[in-house]
């Protein structure tokens, strides 16, 4: 299957929100407490993704012209205190279709390639501290722990993958 990683458009926002809603339902089914217990869609409604697309920060992963994943790539993040010193992309709102195994890895691969192409030194993200499986996944992909962050009830581990 051929995958395409492209900038998202404001028209993609509805599909991205649909992916998130399906992922939240999956979390409920699996007993994973993450987006489903934090009013995620209230914090990041359709208008947020439309705005990110307009600013060139939303990217979508397509398979056969169907959006199967999305990510917002920021150039700064208030959770990190060295944004000016380390040129990086900050991975936010990463979501994939539940049925598409490996799509998250593809999204990260494409984001990493884009970061390298644009001269970034690192790819950074954070992950819920109480999700050992997801933390192990990110670590296996080279995202090393770089401290903690907190946003309301959310406690995360900041992770960084150096690119050069």
Average pLDDT in the 75-104 region? Answer: 94
Beta-bridge partners for 95: 70
The per-residue pLDDT for range 41-58, each reduced to its tens digit, is 999 999 999 999 999 999
- In this prediction, residue 98 carries a pLDDT of 93
Provide the domain limits for residue 140: 3-162
pTM: 0.94
11 Cβ partners below 8 Å, 6+ apart? none
- In this prediction, residue 31 carries a pLDDT of 86
Question: Are the beta carbons of 23 and 75 closer than 8 angstroms?
Answer: no
Question: Are the beta carbons of 63 and 2 closer than 8 angstroms?
Answer: yes
The enclosing domain of 154 has a CATH number of: 3.40.630.30
As for how many domains the chain has, the answer is: 1
């Amino acid at each position: 299957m051929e995958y395409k990683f492209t900038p998202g458009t404001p028209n993609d926002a509805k599909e991205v929100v649909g992916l998130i809603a399906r992922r939240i339902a999956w979390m409920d089914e699996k007993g994973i407490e993450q987006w489903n217990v934090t009013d995620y869609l209230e914090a990041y409604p359709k208008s947020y993704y439309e705005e990110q697309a307009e600013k060139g920060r939303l990217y979508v992963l397509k398979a056969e012209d169907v959006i199967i994943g999305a990510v917002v790539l920021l150039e700064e993040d208030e959770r990190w205190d060295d944004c000016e010193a380390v040129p990086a992309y900050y991975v936010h709102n990463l979501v994939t279709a539940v049925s598409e195994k490996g799509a998250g890895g593809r999204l990260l691969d494409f984001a990493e390639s884009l970061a390298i192409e644009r001269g970034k030194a690192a790819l950074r993200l954070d992950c819920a501290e109480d999700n050992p499986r997801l933390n192990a996944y990110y670590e296996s992909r080279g995202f090393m722990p770089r401290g903690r962050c907190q946003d309301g009830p959310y406690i995360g581990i900041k992770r960084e993958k150096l690119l050069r």
